[in-house]
């Protein structure tokens, strides 16, 4: 009985006041509802652009009267006792992205096989704070859904993979708050505050490179000199070079020989898997203190690799500037900052993918997993692009 009450609380109180999502616009519901038949299981696969995505999607599904459990990273449950209570009672359960713990996977499989509610998995695996681009989708969500389809068999009902595009955009003028937050970051890293005539893309470039240089220096790693970085257009190469340097050093410590030198995020994940194995092994107790340092370096590498470098320069809207400022603030202070202003969240459901049909005649699962992952990722990006063509919010417009 408590879950419906909490879902209503999420809609009228938690989202608008805590997450500052004052409106949720649900689109494409008929595509999903018309395709779903009796006995079908559903796996929702959304992008993960903000820290409000789980409650936003819960509200969208509440309106559709579709119950669903959400697989969420365990650190979401560490943000506060109330957040933990609210999310769990509304159907969220935790997973450690870097562990080999089979329990969350068994629970997810049980949810799908029972068929009483849907399942939501965020294939990006992390919050990238980039509303306009999806990060690389991991194959775990598709693998889980396809394994469930295999377990059900040809006569046990379909599993539908549903792409979901989530876009958050500022409805009011958040520029003063963005400038104030950037001034706070500048003070923390001993830099000049944003200048009156300085475009925020240049401020972000200047402060971001200095924060990166300081982070690297504190760990004994040479980094780019913020005074000599050149125009913002040179950022992608500098960021990639810094992330590569951190990973090269870390992999040497861990004894890892990477097979994917160009895939920085996958290299980070491989490092974190090895570190987790060390930290949870009683036989490696002598290495636990060192592993804590390794984990810190792996997180630094992820943070560096998650910046595109040209995201704001290519299209300096208020939304892109604001979310990049939020990302920089989070990295500098080490905690999740409060939203910068009131936002509209658009949730668009894409065309469901029939996994029983995708598996028909296939002898090997892995190629199907790869194909479905790519298909869902492309559908989510297409949904974002469609949303952006319809927006006329203040956040969707250029900064000036």
What is d(CA 175, CA 397) in angstroms, rounded to the nearest whole number? Answer: 12
> What's the average model confidence in pLDDT over 229-242?
70
Name the band, by pLDDT with cuts 50, 70 and 90, for residue 73. Answer: low
Residues 146 and 105 in one domain: yes
SS3 222: coil
Asked if residues 291 and 276 have their Cβ atoms less than 8 Å apart, the reply is no
* Judgement on whether residues 237 and 102 belong to the same structural domain of the protein: no
What is the per-residue pLDDT across 102-113, written as a single tens digit (0 to 9) for each?
Answer: 777 788 888 898
8 A C-beta contact, residue 327 and residue 279: no
272: pLDDT strictly greater than 90: no
The predicted model gives 18-26 an average pLDDT of 97
Boundaries of domain holding 228: 190-333
The whole-model pTM stands at 0.87
Judge whether 349 lies within some domain.
yes
The pLDDT, as a whole number, for residue 226 is 45
Whether residues 283 and 365 fall in one domain: no
Q: Which residues contact 194 (CB under 8 A, 6 or more apart)?
A: 179, 182, 183, 186, 200, 203
One domain, residues 137 and 74? yes
In tens, the pLDDT along 47-56 reads 999 999 999 9
Higher pLDDT, 98 or 158: 158
237 is a domain residue: yes
Neighbouring C-beta atoms of residue 392, cutoff 10 Å: 7
Structural domains in the chain (count): 2
Residue 74 maps to a domain: yes
| Residue at 23 is within a domain | yes
Q: What is the mean pLDDT of residues 104-124?
A: 88
Q: Report whether pLDDT(76) > 90.
A: no
In a domain, 176, yes or no: no
């Amino acid at each position: 009985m408590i879950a419906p009450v909490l879902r209503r609380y999420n809609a009228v109180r938690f989202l608008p006041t805590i997450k500052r999502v004052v409106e949720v616009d649900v689109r494409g519901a008929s595509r999903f509802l018309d395709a779903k038949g009796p006995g079908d299981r559903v796996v929702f696969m959304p992008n993960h652009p903000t820290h409000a995505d789980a409650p936003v999607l819960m509200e969208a599904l509440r309106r559709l009267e579709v119950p669903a459990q959400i697989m969420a990273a365990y650190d979401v449950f560490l943000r506060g006792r109330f957040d933990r209570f609210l999310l769990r009672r509304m159907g969220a359960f935790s997973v450690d992205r870097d562990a080999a713990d089979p329990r969350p996977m068994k629970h997810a499989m049980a949810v799908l096989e029972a068929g009483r509610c849907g399942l939501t998995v965020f294939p990006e695996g992390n919050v990238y704070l980039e509303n306009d681009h999806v990060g690389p989708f991991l194959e775990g969500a598709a693998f889980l859904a396809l394994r469930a389809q295999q377990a059900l068999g040809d006569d046990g009902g379909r599993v539908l993979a549903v792409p979901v595009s989530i876009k958050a955009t500022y409805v009011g003028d958040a520029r003063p708050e963005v400038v104030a937050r950037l001034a706070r970051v500048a003070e923390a890293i001993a830099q000049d505050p944003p200048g009156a005539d300085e475009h925020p893309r240049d401020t972000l470039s200047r402060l971001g490179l200095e924060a990166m240089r300081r982070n690297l220096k504190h760990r004994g790693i040479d980094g780019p000199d913020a005074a000599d970085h050149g125009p913002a257009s040179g950022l992608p190469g500098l960021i990639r070079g810094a992330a590569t340097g951190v990973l090269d050093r870390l992999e040497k410590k861990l004894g890892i020989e990477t097979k994917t030198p160009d895939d920085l995020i996958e290299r980070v994940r491989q490092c974190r898997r090895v570190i987790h194995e060390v930290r949870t092994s009683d036989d490696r107790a002598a290495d636990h203190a060192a592993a804590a340092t390794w984990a810190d370096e792996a997180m630094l590498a992820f943070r560096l690799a998650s910046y595109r470098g040209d995201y704001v320069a290519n299209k300096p809207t208020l939304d892109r500037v604001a979310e990049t400022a939020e990302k920089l603030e989070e990295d500098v202070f080490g905690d999740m900052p409060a939203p910068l202003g009131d936002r509209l969240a658009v949730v668009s459901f894409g065309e469901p993918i029939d996994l029983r049909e995708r598996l028909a005649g296939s002898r090997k699962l892995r190629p199907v997993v790869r194909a479905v992952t790519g298909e869902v990722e492309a559908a989510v990006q297409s949904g974002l692009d469609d949303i952006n063509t319809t927006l006329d919010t203040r956040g969707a417009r250029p900064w000036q």
